[in-house]
Amino acid sequence: MEGDEKMILFLDFDGVLHPHLRHEPDFCRNELLWKILRACPTVQVVFSTSWRDNYSQIEMVGFVTSGGGEDLAHRIIGSIPNLEGEGRYGRRDFEIQRWLDANDQVGAWLAIDDIPALFNGGHPNLYVVDGGRGLTESDVTAILGRLQ
């Protein structure tokens, strides 16, 4: 990324911020997200998680920032829409594109998710995390390489 160009990071929760196998608490990988955001001060976050169907934006921001990331809350700017009514629920690529169009965003973006099947044909803007482990230090290094 050059200069002050903003990048949008579309963030899934399950399998990313905590492993699918719940031997660890929800959001146990938040500190790794905070590391990414602190290293990339122009990156803004949009939630691309099914949690948006059950929790408010304020609640989700709290889940992701409490315990040391509160200073990053202002960089979380929204959630993707649920396109179930259009028969496209679970198609994160369509949901992300709808958010980008609705918010006049034409710049760079990266989605972090653990389910590549939600993105048609494996999208070039997708970073896939192993959902059984959740975000790891090696993922942080790779994601920073894509964001910087």
Domains of the chain, start order? 7-147 (3.40.50)
pLDDT of residue 84: 79
10 Å Cβ neighbour count for 66?
12
pLDDT of residue 143: 97
pLDDT of residue 89: 63
Residue 73, both tokens = 């809350």
pLDDT tens by residue, 77-89: 999 998 877 776 6
pLDDT of residue 88: 66
pLDDT exceeds 90 at position 47: yes
Burial class (CB in 10 A: 0-12, 13-18, 19+), 4: exposed
